[in-house]
Structure formats: structure tokens, C-alpha cells
């Protein structure tokens, strides 16, 4: 499906309201002598979660995929002695493609191009479907499953010429229900054709209903970002529909922080504001590729209030409400524990569909207040204050 491209906005002239306000090539205005406004390069929080596979921290992990340009992905199909496939591989592949590639291309503003290379044959695994440990999946059991599938396909695939592998199992079997991502390191990845692969996606029975949204979620892990849904408590209480890393609801576009991590937004499209004072900034929709995308107001070394603008564009066309969305980010929080939360925090609200601010509406946290002062189809104006 083709969507109209958002008309690119003109850059916003950055003017200081007082001579004492420090400035470093940013967009917006500030009026306090202690206010420092810079581009995003000064707000790149490091990964403090203790995990070495996925996080919201900078820099980008070299073991994860940097999805800029073409990403070549081999696609394998496996079935089992107790669950032989009855569908053609082409039919199963059609559940994922071309919707998945189209999603990545559109959301990345053309910066990432996933090219699947399917092997249209069923590779028969050696064990029954319930003998691969998927009822209590561990890193080691996942690795064994993948290593076996890769070995079966080795005669047909040159794994030195692909960036990642997707393994699609017979979707009609009943034992392996949930898709997952293997995220290894250079010393514990998957061996194939003399190389070590650190990113593999296993697609399971949930492809039958998640369809083209399933790969983009798992591919988000391959690119290094964590789950935004909750492993305990209300499943979608942290971010609701915002970002496919939480849910493929009404606003599945990767959020601005994620796109910044992926390299789809530049440091110059992010504004970092430190110190006390007030200021304003204009944000353009995260769904478009141009303009200012993200306001970051640090709280400490790992956490901040961040603001982006969401519009009914492309895959977010079913948004119930448009406008700026305010989040609390903390890079010391682990995968599935709330590294990102929509403000105000309300875990019982599992859609967050009313979260975008209306004109005159504000959100506050830790002495920081952000308020929407203007809003249109080309973005929002945000007033911010730190006391």
C-alpha cells in the first residue's frame, strides 16, 4: 500500500532568548541562563541494564544488525516427524512477505531494505516438535534448534552471503507457538560456512495471526532494542500501542528513540536540553523522515523525559488521537521491565490511545513539565520547563 509522503518541513531557526543561554547547533528556544540546548550527541545514554544483547543504550552493539542499506536474510522452512508440513513453503512465506519488508522500508524512510532469500523446501528436523524445549526456552536450547536447521540447509545456502537467517517452522504444529530472536555474541553464535552468526529469528505458529507484523518486532531485537511489553503484570501497561516492540496495535511505528538507535534519525534530529529554565521546540511527526524528531530532557545519567510527535501516517493511520507523546526512558532497566513508559504512568491502561497531548494539555515528572501549545498535521509545538 502506498502512502502520501509528508511534505518536508523547513528547518526551524534556533534563537536564544537570553545571551547567557548556552547553545550547540540545535532547534528551539530557551530563556534561562542555566539552560543548555544541544543536539542529540550529548544525550546518548549508555546501556546500564546489565544485559549484553538488547538495550536502549548507545552505542549500537556491533553484534546486532545496523539496518542501513540492504539487509540480506536467508529464509529456511522446517517441519517435524510428528508434524509434517501440509502447506507449500511459498504459502507459509506469504504470511510474512512482502508485508514485512514493506514495513521496514516505510518506517525507515527508505534507509533500510530487507531482502529475503527463501529456500522453498521443507527441511525435516530430527526430533518431535515438543522435544526442542520451547515450553521453557533457554539460550542453549534455542541455539541447538537453530544450529540443526542451519546444518540441514547448509548444502543449499551460502551463509557467508547473508546478514541474518529466519527459520519458519510448520505453522500448523502445536508445540512451538511463539516466535523468538536469537541474539548471540561472537563467541557463542551459530556456526555456518566458517562464520559465526549472531542474529537469527525463529518464526513459529504465531505467524498465522501476527502475519507481517511479526518479523518487524523480532527484527527490532536483531537491531538491538528490547521488548517494551511487560514480562510480568499488565502485558501492555508500559507503552500500550506505541511501537511494534510493545504491540502491533494502532501505532506500531518504531518510536523516535529506536529510530535514532537504528541510525534512521541523526543526532541533528534530536534536541537535548539540560539545566533549569523554559523553552519551546517544534517537532515533526516520527512517521516522516525529515525535521526535528525527538526532545530529550535528561533526569540523570540513564533516564530522561522524551517527547515525539505521532500522526495518522502510514502504519499509524489508525491512531485514535494525534499529537506529542511523552515517555520516561531509563537505560538501566532491563528488557520487559519497563525501559520505556508512556506518561502519565498507568499500567492498567493497555492501549495508551489517549496519550498524545491535546493543545493546552501537559505532562510532568521529576520537576519537568512539557505542554503542547500548537498542533497540526505537520507536527507540534512543545513548551518545556524544568524547575
Q: In the prediction, which pLDDT does 15 show?
A: 29
| pLDDT, tens digit only, all 387 positions of the chain | 333 333 233 333 232 232 233 333 334 555 445 899 999 999 999 999 999 899 999 999 999 999 999 999 999 999 999 999 999 999 999 999 999 999 999 999 999 999 999 999 999 999 999 999 998 999 999 999 999 999 999 999 999 999 999 999 999 999 999 999 999 999 999 999 999 999 999 999 999 999 999 999 999 999 999 999 999 999 999 999 999 999 999 999 999 999 999 999 999 999 999 999 999 999 999 999 999 999 999 999 999 999 999 999 999 999 999 999 999 999 999 999 999 999 999 999 999 999 999 999 999 999 999 999 999 999 999 999 999
Domain locations along the chain: 22-60+250-386, 69-219
- Exposure string over 342-377, b if 16+ CB within 10 A, otherwise e: bbeeeeebbbbbebbbeeeebbebeebbbbbeebee
> Alpha carbon of 1 to those of 48, 106, 352: distances in Å?
40, 10, 26
pTM of the predicted model over 0.75: yes
Q: In the prediction, which pLDDT does 34 show?
A: 86
As beta bridge partners, residue 22 has 36
Q: In the prediction, which pLDDT does 161 show?
A: 98
Q: Which three cell numbers stand for residue 120?
A: 522453498
Amino acid at each position: 500500500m502506498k502512502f502520501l509522503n509528508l511534505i518536508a518541513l523547513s528547518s526551524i531557526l534556533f534563537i536564544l532568548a537570553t545571551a547567557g543561554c548556552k547553545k550547540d547547533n540545535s532547534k528551539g528556544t530557551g530563556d534561562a541562563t542555566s539552560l543548555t540546548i544541544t543536539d542529540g550527541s550529548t544525550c546518548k545514554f549508555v546501556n546500564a541494564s546489565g544485559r549484553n544483547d538488547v538495550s536502549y543504550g548507545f552505542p549500537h552493539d556491533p553484534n546486532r544488525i545496523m539496518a542501513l542499506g540492504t539487509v540480506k536474510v536467508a529464509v529456511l522452512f522446517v517441519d517435524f516427524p510428528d508434524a509434517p508440513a501440509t502447506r507449500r513453503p511459498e504459502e507459509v512465506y506469504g504470511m510474512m512477505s512482502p508485508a514485512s519488508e514493506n514495513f521496514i522500508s516505510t518506517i525507515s524512510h527508505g534507509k533500510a531494505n530487507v531482502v529475503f532469500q527463501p529456500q522453498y523446501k521443507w527441511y525435516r528436523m530430527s526430533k518431535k516438535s515438543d522435544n526442542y524445549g520451547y515450553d521453557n526456552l533457554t539460550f542453549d536450547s534455542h541455539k541447538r534448534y537453530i544450529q540443526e536447521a542451519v546444518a540441514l540447509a547448509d548444502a543449499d545456502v551460502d551463509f557467508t552471503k547473508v546478514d541474518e537467517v529466519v527459520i519458519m517452522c510448520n505453522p500448523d504444529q502445536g508445540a512451538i507457538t511463539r516466535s523468538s530472536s536469537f541474539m548471540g555474541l561472537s563467541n557463542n553464535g551459530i556456526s555456518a560456512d566458517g562464520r559465526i552468526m549472531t542474529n537469527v529469528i525463529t518464526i513459529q505458529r504465531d505467524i498465522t495471526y501476527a502475519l507481517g507484523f511479526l518479523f518487524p518486532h523480532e527484527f527490532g531485537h536483531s537491531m538491538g532494542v528490547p521488548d517494551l511489553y511487560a514480562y510480568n503484570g499488565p502485558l501492555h501497561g508500559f507503552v500500550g500501542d506505541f511501537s511494534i516492540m510493545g504491540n502491533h496495535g494502532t501505532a506500531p511505528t518504531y518510536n523516535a528513540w529506536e529510530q535514532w538507535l537504528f541510525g534512521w534519525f541523526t543526532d541533528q534530529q534530536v534536541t537535548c536540553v539540560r539545566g533549569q529554565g523554559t523553552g519551546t521546540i517544534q517537532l515533526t511527526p516520527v512517521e516522516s523522515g525529515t525535521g526535528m524528531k525527538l526532545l530529550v530532557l535528561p533526569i540523570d545519567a540513564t533516564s530522561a523525559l522524551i517527547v515525539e510527535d505521532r500522526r495518522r501516517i502510514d502504519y499509524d493511520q489508525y491512531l485514535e488521537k494525534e499529537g506529542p507523546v511523552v515517555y520516561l526512558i531509563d537505560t538501566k532497566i532491563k528488557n520487559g521491565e519497563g525501559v520505556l513508559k508512556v506518561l502519565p504512568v498507568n499500567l492498567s491502561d493497555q492501549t495508551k490511545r489517549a496519550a498524545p497531548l491535546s493543545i493546552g494539555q501537559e505532562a510532568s515528572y521529576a520537576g519537568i513539565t512539557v505542554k503542547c501549545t500548537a498542533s497540526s498535521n505537520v507536527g507540534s509545538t512543545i513548551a518545556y520547563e524544568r524547575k
